[in-house]
Chains A and B, each alone.
Chain A
């Protein structure tokens, strides 16, 4: 029982990160019908930017409090990621808005490679130790169940950001314009909405969330490198589809569900396969679950329709 509780807790941590990234996928899909495969790389750019800023600051002023360091690193990561996403949309995707769907999809894969390669040039091929500025010393709130402060931070920060995003989208004038644009670009422009601005904003907002996810991810594992965005990106995309792509609630639910299934699965995979597979095969679960959901519920858990503008 304690193992299960422990797995669920671990799953919630990873799931929160997936959810943050999945939101970026789903927002862009909702407004453009585009699967931005390069979104996972934004997480990587965020983590590595924070790494550089934090290690530089640590060198310059060693007495800076850890939380301030992390805060500045996070802020820098968000700014850089927002710029990267803005340029991505402006330079790569905008011209392809009315192109056949395959063109932007292939472009997105190209952008993904480009970002990885650029990151490799800037940060090298090595794994970097990411400073763990929030403690990773485990606490034991329940006998046999461990949680550390960075895990708590991950869950709480993700939850706050998600609530904020939902409030923005459902309660504000800007959010209303985003939803109107997602439904119909042309009519939104007839309401005086600058559709290009709303699309840029959607990319930038998604990138900010990915930056936070990247910093949290690296802080949890204590590692960052140029290819670190690929797997969480793929998982988050899976989570977005799982929840119903284009749907905010779906992305959050999909992320959490995926994290939970993966963690619990990892805990039991040896038993399930009679020792044939060990926990390093946990990635299987994400894709098996995705396959099953798509067979029985092609629109995902919360999706009503795949797209109005397919």
Chain B
């Protein structure tokens, strides 16, 4: 799709390097996302996936390279401004405000908005998408189960009305049924036209959903291709899908 598409990418990473202190965790990666795509980023633990997403959301700075979003260099833009441009991150470990209620968590997602009527509508939409959340609105969010917290984290990100949604291992530590539910929600969001970059350990599931994928290995992109190509790639199967090569 991207090859034949003359449209410029919504997001472009050019030789992006990210370091913790002196140690480079991401060693120069290139990546493009086109409007409306669902792209996944897979790779072993410690490959640098979370680091990459945090740098995209703006909570980590770059050690080199460039981020272009919507034609604009955003490499030094702080996180709170990137959200206003439409980049939302559901962070690894969910980042729920455990002492706030579920409803307060969701409303935090709409912090940048002032269109109160539309916010209420969007809240209702989130409730219908996540019915289990609605029964627990006044509960302190720290008391929710992991799956419910993940739902709240995703719902909260959606309330900012993102154009680019970054998801960091939304299935981590959750039961298969819950994971399925979460992927249903991701699919719905994608169908609404939101561009999604999905980081997953659950590579099988992610690649089935995604149009394209990138494989990250020790801070570099090692393989890239369509979902089917990656699923069929013996090296990918061996490394991430638990098969002997």
Contacts and interface: CB of A to CB of B under 8 A. Distances in A.
Contact of A176 (B59, B78, B104, B160): B104
B107 A176 contact: yes
B99 A190 contact: no
A183 B111 contact: no
B61 to A, nearest CB: 13
A177 B108 contact: yes
Contacts of A186: 59, 79, 91, 95
Interface in A176-199: 176-177, 179-180, 183-184, 186-195
A197 B89 CA distance: 21
Contacts of A180: 97, 100, 104, 108
B160 A189 contact: no
Interface string A33-54: 0000000000000000000000
Interface in B47-87: 57-59, 78-80, 83-84
Interface string B99-125: 110001001110110000000000000
A191 B91 contact: no
B207 to A, nearest CB: 27
Contact of A192 (B91, B104, B111): B111
Nearest to B153: A187
A174 to B, nearest CB: 10
Q: How large is the interface on B (under 10, 10 to 19, 20 to 34, 35 or more residues)?
A: 20 to 34
A184 B59 CA distance: 12
B59 A195 contact: no
A192 B95 contact: no
Nearest to B113: A192
A184 B100 CA distance: 11
Contacts of A183: 97-100
Given A176-B107, A186-B95, A187-B97, A192 B59 contact: no
B88 interface: yes
A194 B78 CA distance: 9
A176 B98 CA distance: 13
B83 A190 contact: yes
Nearest to B107: A176
Interface string B15-29: 000000000000000
Contact of B160 (A179, A188, A192): A192
A192 to B, nearest CB: 4
A187 B78 contact: no
Contact of B97 (A173, A179, A189): A179
B91 to A, nearest CB: 7
Interface string A84-124: 00000000000000000000000000000000000000000
Best-buried of B80, B84, B160 by chain A (most CB within 10 Å): B80
B99 A189 contact: no
Interface in B111-142: 111-112
A9 to B, nearest CB: 36
The 7 tightest CB contacts between A and B, nearest first, are: A192-B112, A187-B95, A192-B83, A189-B79, A191-B108, A191-B111, A192-B80
6 contacts: A176-B107, A179-B104, A187-B95, A190-B88, A190-B95, A191-B111
Interface of A: 173, 176-177, 179-180, 183-184, 186-195
Given A176-B100, A176-B104, A180-B108, 20 more contacts: A173-B111, A177-B111, A179-B99, A179-B100, A179-B104, A183-B98, A186-B91, A189-B78, A190-B57, A190-B83, A190-B88, A190-B95, A191-B80, A191-B109, A191-B111, A192-B83, A192-B111, A192-B112, A193-B80, A193-B111
